[in-house]
Amino acid sequence: MLPPSGSYRQYCRLENGNRSVIGAYNADVKENTAFLSFTNHFRQKGLPVPEIFAVSSDLKKYLLEDLGNLTLFDYLSETRESEGFSESIVSKYRKVLEVLPKIQITAGKDMDYSVCYPREAFDKQSMMWDLNYFKYYFLKLAKIPFDEQALEDDFQVFSDYLLSAPSDYFLYRDFQSRNVMLKNNDVYFIDYQGGRRGALQYDLASLLYDGKADIPQEIRSQLFGFYLAELRNYIPVNESEFTSYFNGFVLIRIMQAMGAYGFRGFYEKKEHFLKSIPFAIHNLQSLLPELSLPVNMPELVNVLHLLIHSESLKEIGQVHRDLTVRITSFSYKKGIPADPSGNGGGFAFDCRALNNPGRYAEYKNLTGKDLKVQQFLEQNSEMKWFLKPVKALVEQSIKNYLERGFTHLTVNFGCTGGQHRSVYAAEKLAAHLRNNFPVNVVLVHREL
């Protein structure tokens, strides 16, 4: 059996000495019909999707091509650990974006939309489902106060604006890094059974604002420009109009995802989805200052600002564990941080021997959270070799602390100004621990 995902479909790998295939079971015949129809259509168009080998007479079971285990998200996570968000990751995203217009436009032209399930288009009703999903499964559970009627009025205004975008294209619906497979250096696409007619911007928003993929904003901008260049090979593009609609679809996609996190995480108690909440909040924080739509939605905007500042939501978003690891970046000029837990122990790692980006004018006003600084440290310093033994030491303590029931561990990274090297190192260790250990991670950049 393969690990369960966000759906109720079940998958297993069947193999003998010569080959393997994926077996799928899904009791929802209408959803299966959409997937099988779309797959046949995409393969006729030469698109990289799995081949279907056999389908049961009741349409509840089918065998399909085994594309392996490596998703784009897996590749991103593994590569980012050692290289940061490197050019090798960006090149994979470009491959995906080269194919996306073919799916949306070439395949979308003569698609049989009558098999779409549950709706033929991302229409008014579809949008209101998503918006109310967000309202009832996320806002309510996050204890965000709102005026029900005012928010409903804003949902109507917002959905009407989105519906004014050109929408005679195939909308993949769940176009994100876990639904892209990598095999023999090529990209393949899965889980498009929720596809329907819709606007081009939605799938691009899904990919670039994919929560746990956490794509740096500068890379998002590069990939956005790359997609527009590819799109111009198929249709004329008004960039300012496309961008305005894009920001709107980013917002509704984030809201839809948060509704799913609320349902799967809060209601069904699936921890994996709770871990995605902080990434969605971060995406909202990045989007809101740039959000400039030609419609007025005061209650919705107010609710979103309350959401990103909610203390109770921060608590909900944390996975409660017995061990908390507090990671702090600091400046040695201001002294090593005190341990607020009262244990008085932990680690302090000195980053001052590493090449300092702060000495260069182009990095002086940036921090270790900025992509340019990260690339500098990955390419022009020994940061990778510095962090390797650091991780080994911290991991050793964590394993021991978990066994002995300890509750707190502190890890401090210091440099001259507490802006670049220490911030980068703290961010990297925090991400590593969150992905690999059952601990609460508290990350503090004292000097920022």
Q: How confident is the model at residue 386 (pLDDT cuts 50, 70, 90)?
A: very high
Shared domain for 109 and 29, answered yes or no, is no
The pLDDT value recorded for residue 68 is 94
Q: Can you give the CATH number for the domain in which 32 is found? A: 3.30.200.20
Within-domain flag for 86: yes
Phi, then psi, of 23 in degrees rounded to 5: -100, 135
* Structural domain range at position 235: 67-315
Q: Residue 321: which pLDDT band, with cuts at 50, 70 and 90?
A: low
Whether the bond into 118 is cis, omega within 30 of 0: yes
Task: Out of 286, 315, 344, pick the residue that ends a domain.
Answer: 315
Task: Give domain status of residue 197, yes or no.
Answer: yes
What is the count of structural domains for the chain?
A: 3
Same domain, 161 and 309: yes
What's the angle, vertex CA 261, arms to CA 260 and CA 262, rounded to 5? 90
Same domain, 248 and 364: no
Spatial separation of the C-alpha atoms in residues 294 and 153, rounded to whole Å: 16
For residue 124, what are its two tokens?
A: 């008014």
Shared domain for 191 and 329, answered yes or no, is no
Could you say which of 290, 315, 340 is where a domain stops?
Answer: 315
Distances from the Cα of 200 to the Cαs of 92, 119, 147, 225, 249, in angstroms?
20, 17, 32, 14, 9
Tell me: do 140 and 273 sit in the same domain: yes
Specify if 92 maps to a domain: yes
**What pLDDT, in 10s, does the model give residues 269-306?**
887 788 788 889 889 988 998 888 999 999 999 999 99
- 3-class DSSP state of 106: helix
In terms of DSSP bridges, do strands 408-415 and 324-331 run parallel, antiparallel, or are they unpaired? parallel
Domain boundary among 289, 315, 341: 315
The 10s digit of each residue's pLDDT in 218-236 is 899 999 999 999 999 999 9
Greater confidence (86 vs 159) lies with 159
* Whether 59 and 75 share a structural domain: no
DSSP 339: -
Query: Can you point out the beta strands (E) in 80-195?
Result: 169-171, 180-183, 186-189
Query: Is residue 406 a part of any domain in this protein?
Result: yes
Q: Is 3 within a domain?
A: no
In a domain, 2, yes or no: no
In angstroms, the Cα distances linking 19 to 23, 71, 345 are: 13, 20, 54
Mean pLDDT for the chain overall: 93
